[in-house]
Chain A
Amino acid sequence: EAQVTQNPRYLITVTGKKLTVTCSQNMNHEYMSWYRQDPGLGLRQIYYSMNVEVTDKGDVPEGYKVSRKEKRNFPLILESPSPNQTSLYFCASRKQGSNTEAFFGQGTRLTVV
């Protein structure tokens, strides 16, 4: 089954404790990205990657890092999480090209206390 898989689904952590949210896709898609969803603000892009070893900032990259060492994986790293990073996070992937469908993971609910 074609899918985007995120882990963990739920995470509660403390301020400053480094964490990684994993994302994996099995569709051989070139393009992957991370979004966060907040009430009243909708979905906003954090980082994206157009292929292996090619990453760039989205609209809200502060406090986040990413890497793309393999085509299927695109982890999101929070080096020093803060409470304002409490949010619902989504990973997405799609095939390179202007008319391709985006697929989203099930989301990761992160709470930073």
Chain B
Amino acid sequence: KQEVTQIPAALSVPEGENLVLNCSFTDSAIYNLQWFRQDPGKGLTSLLLIQSSQREQTSGRLNASLDKSSGRSTLYIAASQPGDSATYLCAVLYGGSQGNLIFGKGTKLSVKP
């Protein structure tokens, strides 16, 4: 069964810290991996899309990496701010999945001022 796991489930850090969120997936035959941000009761905002042929993508203070052979992706957030507090979701589009994104359960991040 194709699964996506995110560890830890929750993380609390002081403002200014650099941090890493982890995502692992069970099948290396992926098309792409997408990181989302979700604020409480709100929709999903796409942060970064990494295609299967790429190793990393960057957007501002965010950097996402992809290692298909080990089934892992990381989201690096530099110089964290209280406004970064949200739940971060990792989603994988597997080959042959008919477009069904498989989501991890997310990491709830809290950045303390």
Q: How far is the CA of A40 from the CA of B108 in the complex (A)?
A: 13
Interfacial residues, chain B to chain A (CB-CB below 8 A)? 31-32, 34, 36, 41-46, 49, 51-52, 89, 91, 93, 95, 98-101, 103-106
Question: B49 touching A45 by the CB < 8 A rule?
Answer: no
Instruction: Assess whether B104 is in contact with A42, with CB atoms less than 8 Å apart.
Output: yes
Asked whether A90 lies within 8 Å of B43 as measured between CB atoms, the reply is: yes
Closest CB-CB distance, B48 to chain A, in whole Å? 9
The residues of A with any CB-CB pair to B shorter than 8 Å are 31, 33, 35, 40-43, 45, 48, 50, 56, 58-59, 88, 90, 92, 94, 98-107, 109
Residues of B within 8 A of A98 (CB): 31-32, 52, 93, 95
Q: Is the CB of B89 within 8 A of A103?
A: no
When distances are taken between beta carbons in the complex, the residues of chain A under 8 Å from B100 are 33, 45, 48, 58-59
Structural contact, A101 and B98, CB atoms closer than 8 A: no
**A43–B95 CA distance with the chains assembled, in angstroms:** 19
Contact at A43–B89, with CB atoms within 8 Å?
A: yes
Beta-carbon contact of A102 and B46 below 8 Å: yes
The residue in chain B whose Cβ has the minimal distance to the Cβ of A109 is B41
Are B99 and A50 in touch, CB under 8 angstroms?
Answer: yes
For the complex, give the distance between the alpha carbons of A65 and B103 in Å. Answer: 22
B16 CB, nearest partner CB in chain A, Å = 30
